[in-house]
Amino acid sequence: MKKINIKLTVNGEQHEMAVAPAERLVDVLRDRLGLTGTKEGCGEGECGACTINMNGQAVLSCLILAVQADGATILTIEGLQNGINLHPLQTAFLSESAVQCGYCTPGMIMAGHALIEQDRNPDETKVKTCLANNLCRCTGYEQPVKAVLKAAREMRRETDA
Amino acid sequence: MNVTLKYEGYHRPGNVDQALYVLTKYGDKALVIAGGTDVLPQRPGRNNTGIGKHLVDIAHMGLDYIKEEKDGIHIGAAATINSVGAFPLLSKPSYKVLSEAVACHSTQTIRNRATIGGNLCNASPCADLALPLFALDARLVIKGPKRERQIPIQDFYIGANLSALDNNEILVEICIPFCEQKAGTSFLKLGRQHTAIDMALVNVATFFTMNGQCCDTVRIALGSVGPVPFRAKKAESILAGKLPDKENIQRAAKAAAEASAPLDDIRATAAYRKKMVVILVRQALENSFRRYEA
């Protein structure tokens, strides 16, 4: 089995490494780069805990091989905050109590992030559609939906100010 | 680290000829991958750990286009399902059946990676994107080492999870001919999940044109109720040349159900699916008619 050299830009940092054909992006992020904010839940695209942003789009890092991501620009939950300042989505998830055990939270936030980057004024239906690939087994869905709407409001205000 | 996947090699051809070379070289050991959303999930009953397989990644061969040409809409096989759904022309009534199927397919996050060619070549009897392409009478462009061939999508499915593609062939393009006349179309899906494992219980696509007061061309495609997606031609012929009134639509819907051969499984009984075919076909035809009139 021949390893393949790949380049990734993750949260602004460039990485080069040799990966096996079967190594998935979620494994590389967590085990090689130590970015354990990205979770693996089901490993088959159902739960959305591994959602990250790749080249501007929300994608599931358990359904992408590292070799497929060669050359990609990746953003994970760790890259969202600005210095010590949390991203408005992170703040909103805290203030809306949209977190209980927290396992689904990074995926929810990264899915919400891709939406807000494209649309600063999403309606509730859009937010629900966007979070449809993210399962939560404790807090439920109302708070995360509210949190994404609140973050979008916050970000609109920042842009207007 | 996931230990179940065990691919032997990974190849990233830059064009179709290179891809065909790799496919021919590895034969049975080659496994085509584009988005990966069907290839990578490990599911019970599917022996797809990939031991000894060589992945052939066709996502970097310039096959991700969707464009309008003189004769119709041309979609590269590696175009993501979301990019297909975002193509403006597909929101028109004549083609809406395809953008509706996109919206019903899995989730936004999956559709950012999943490709239209992957959905077709996986050859699932419930492939959402196959049905609108049946309804729009699409043809598929297939390339092999010796020749390029074009086949109507109707000839693509030859058995459960089995397509007409040879081992060393690649689906490169989907062509949707322009619809010269005004048309109304619709896609409906009955399912319980809208996530990655989003297999429909029944899915239906319809296409409809009129000549004066009567139906002209009618196409009714059914999925998940037989080993392959198919056109319910007897049901279509019931409507052709007739008034699209309630009675004729109901007769066609019943004929469609008679043509279906669903299975009992963990998700639904065959009897339930058959009943739902009647309702979905009726509703899809009514939608198509309404859109034609609008």
Q: What single DSSP character describes residue A32?
A: I
d(CA B81, CA B221) in angstroms, rounded, equals 20
Angle made by CA atoms B57, B61, B64, in degrees to the nearest 5: 100
Candidates A21, A46, A48; nearest CB to B7: A21
Interface test with B, best of A7, A17, A63 (most B CBs within 10 A): A63
pTM to 2 decimal places: 0.95
What is the predicted pLDDT for the residue at B45?
58
Q: Please, are residues B73 and B141 in contact by the beta-carbon 8 Å criterion? A: no
Which chain B residues touch A133 with a CB distance below 8 Å?
A: 106-110, 195-196
Interface test with A, best of B82, B109, B115 (most A CBs within 10 A): B109
With CA atoms as reference, the chain B residue closest to A32 would be B1
What is the predicted pLDDT for the residue at B194?
64
A63: closest CA among B59, B41, B119, B199?
B41
Q: Which residues contact B165 (CB under 8 A, 6 or more apart)?
A: B121, B142, B171
Determine whether the interchain pair A44/B195 forms a contact, defined as Cβ–Cβ distance below 8 Å: no
pLDDT in tens, A12-39: 999 999 999 999 999 999 999 999 999 9
Q: In this structure, what is the dihedral angle of CA atoms B93, B99, B105, B106, given to the nearest 10 degrees? A: -130
pLDDT in tens, B102-123: 999 999 999 999 999 999 999 9
- Has residue A72 got a pLDDT over 60? yes
What is the predicted pLDDT for the residue at B49?
77
B204: closest CA among B231, B170, B227, B164?
B231
Phi first, then psi, for residue B176 (nearest 5°) are -105, 110
Residue B118's alpha-carbon distances to B22, B64, B107, B174, in angstroms, are 18, 12, 16, 12
Classify the C-alpha dihedral A92-A89-A119-A60 as positive or negative.
negative
Residues in chain B with pLDDT values less than 70: 1-3, 43-48, 193-197
Which chain B residues touch A63 with a CB distance below 8 Å?
A: 35-37, 40-41, 110, 113, 196
- Which residue type does A49 have? A
At B158, list the tokens. 């030859």
DSSP B131-196: HHHHHTT-EEEEE-SS-EEEEEGGGTEEETTEES--TT-EEEEEEEE---S--EEEEEEE-S--SS
Spell B174-195 as b/e; 16+ CB within 10 A means b.
bbbeebeeebbbbbbbbbeeeb
Determine whether the interchain pair A22/B110 forms a contact, defined as Cβ–Cβ distance below 8 Å: no
- Has residue A137 got a pLDDT over 70? yes
What is the predicted pLDDT for the residue at B164?
97
- Has residue A139 got a pLDDT over 90? no
DSSP B80-116: BHHHHHT-GGGGSTTTHHHHHHHHHSS-HHHHTT-BH
What is the predicted pLDDT for the residue at B1?
46
What is the predicted pLDDT for the residue at A155?
95
Q: What single DSSP character describes residue A24?
A: B
- Which residue type does B159 have? G
Which chain A residues touch B8 with a CB distance below 8 Å?
A: 1, 21
Determine whether the interchain pair A133/B110 forms a contact, defined as Cβ–Cβ distance below 8 Å: yes
Q: Is B164 exposed, middle or buried (0-12, 13-18, 19+ CB in 10 A)?
A: middle
Task: Please give the radius of gyration of chain B, using alpha carbons only, rounded to the nearest integer.
Answer: 19
Parallel/antiparallel/unpaired status of strands B54-57 and B30-33: parallel
Candidates A27, A48, A135; nearest CB to B109: A48
Determine whether the interchain pair A63/B110 forms a contact, defined as Cβ–Cβ distance below 8 Å: yes
- In this prediction, what percent of chain A has a pLDDT beyond 90? 93
Interface of A with B in 25-44 (CB under 8 A): 27, 31, 43-44
Spell B224-250 as b/e; 16+ CB within 10 A means b.
bbbebbbbbeebbebbeebebeeebbe
Average pLDDT, chain A: 96
**Which H, E and C letters describe A56-92, residue by residue?**
CEEEEHHHCEHHHHCCCEEECHHHCCECCECCHHHHH
